[in-house]
Copies of this chain bind each other. A is one copy, B any other.
Amino acid sequence: MSDPLEQVFTAVDELSSTFIVNLAAAVAIPSVSADPEHRKDVFAMGKWLAEQMKAIGCIVESRKNPLGKQEGTEMELPDILLGHYGTDPAKKTVLVYGHYDVQPAQKEDGWAAEPFTLTEDKSTGRLFGRGSTDDKGPVLGWLHAIQAFQKAKVDFPVNLKMCFEGMEEYGSEGLEELVKQEAKRYFADCDVVCISDNYWLGETKPCLTYGLRGVQYFNIVVAGPQTDLHSGVYGGTVHEPMTDLVGILASLVASNGKILIPGIYDQVSKLTAEEQKLYENIDFTLEEFQKSIGHNVNIKDNIADTLMSRWRFPSLSLHGIEGAFSQSGAKTVIPGKVQGKFSIRTVPDMTAEEVSKCVKTHIEQVFNTSGSKNRLSIEELHAGAYWYSSPNHPNFQAAAAATKRVYGVEPDFTREGGSIPITTVLAEIGNVCLLPMGSGNDNAHGPAESIPKRNYIEGTKLLGAYLYELSRTDLNV
């Protein structure tokens, strides 16, 4: 008897046209969570997905969103689908997460065809349609993996628990609450977690993602005169809040990206030789990076340093100023009160408390030495923790083995610079591996979203292979 995984792969290939038909049916439901007009479609999509799950033997609970109505509206939040397939106590239990809602899309934004009609482009080998790669393709991938095991008559290697939400593109409202409620109940027996909702770096090389940066968002408020003043009448006579604020903002970060706040880098974990090597072998070029930013304004002159700056070092960005003149043209105002917004992307082993302390101490020191008589306050608008999992964890070893089986190459081990808040929540349940299906050029939130047909079909094999490899992996190393 041949390798059971080869039989599953053969089944995927045989079923591939069905899988594309299923994706077309999913894309055809415009489940745009941000648009009240489409809320009914989000519910319809949840219902359709639950039926697909049941049809292949999953047990599905459509949980009412714990927050009930969407904040500030009379709209019901969509259900969160909890499903499971298999309850064999001898098998490991894997939790997978995905979302069935999508970003808005209108043809005139730059789509060649209707965004909610799945359209294959033979010349590029891509399947175009909103949700094709984010995240309907990967969500269906998990179900199709089950179908392929069934068709190949290969014993399903794990117990699969599924958590699919319908508000991801609008802040995942209610999901954290539900996960926390169920962490010790529904999710209590999950050994590891897998999320397929991100992308390869480029077009050709598969990757596994083991880290995300966190974020702490600050607002500096400088208040001076009671109201805005005329700069002709008052310029030179009053401490201007804009002058103070700009002085503070300029003290935070240098043009080369170096954070100038004392103490920030002291908290950053040291780069090891082993980790350094991960970056040097990653399949991504400076040219690809420059293309993605549309200009040659990269700070580092090689891709390894660029990726480290993006993933494993903190950064500080100045986002803007509230309360000052921001229109086009020329207005001679002295703003009476201004607010400067900036955020710091955080990495291991920074702590939110220490970052806040360093930020506040530094800003107060800069302001106090300015001699200004204005009033300063510093607010922290939100904070989200970074997430980091060792790429040597057995969960990643299983995913890497699966990648090698399907694509014939070792995956790149990558991190991402942004945060996916649900990851840190799910990390409370078990080790999380981010296992992307789509490619780096899928334009997930933009016009003409697509997924390469290869990524969709081979990606389905990848998800199945991951579950198979995981079942053979010792989690206790």
Contact = CB atoms under 8 A, between A and B. Distances in A.
B255 A417 contact: no
A465 to B, nearest CB: 29
A127 B117 CA distance: 70
Nearest to A258: B236
A318 B255 contact: no
Interface stretch (A20-28, A327-335, A398-406): A327-335
Contacts of A416: 232-233
Interface string A232-251: 11111111101110110111
B232 A419 contact: yes
A318 B243 contact: yes
Which of A219, A300, A324 has the most CB atoms of chain B within a 10 A radius of its CB?
Answer: A324
A195 to B, nearest CB: 16
Given A237-B300, A345-B236, A217 B330 contact: yes
A220 to B, nearest CB: 12
A177 B305 CA distance: 60
A125 interface: no
Interface string A443-476: 0000000000000000000000000000000000
A229 interface: yes
B255 A315 contact: no
B335 A319 contact: yes
A260 B327 CA distance: 26
A43 interface: no
Q: How many copies does the complex hold?
A: 2
A225 B345 contact: no
A243 B254 contact: yes
Interface stretch (A92-100, A129-137, A368-376, A387-395): A368-376
A306 B233 CA distance: 11
Contacts of A246: 246, 249-250, 318
A246 B366 CA distance: 15
B315 A333 contact: no
Contacts of A219: 330
A262 interface: no
Given A237-B257, A253-B243, A332 B326 contact: no
6 contacts: A224-B295, A233-B418, A235-B257, A255-B371, A320-B335, A326-B326
Q: Which 7 residue pairs across A and B have the least CB separation, nearest first?
A: A226-B294, A232-B418, A236-B315, A320-B325, A320-B324, A235-B315, A250-B250
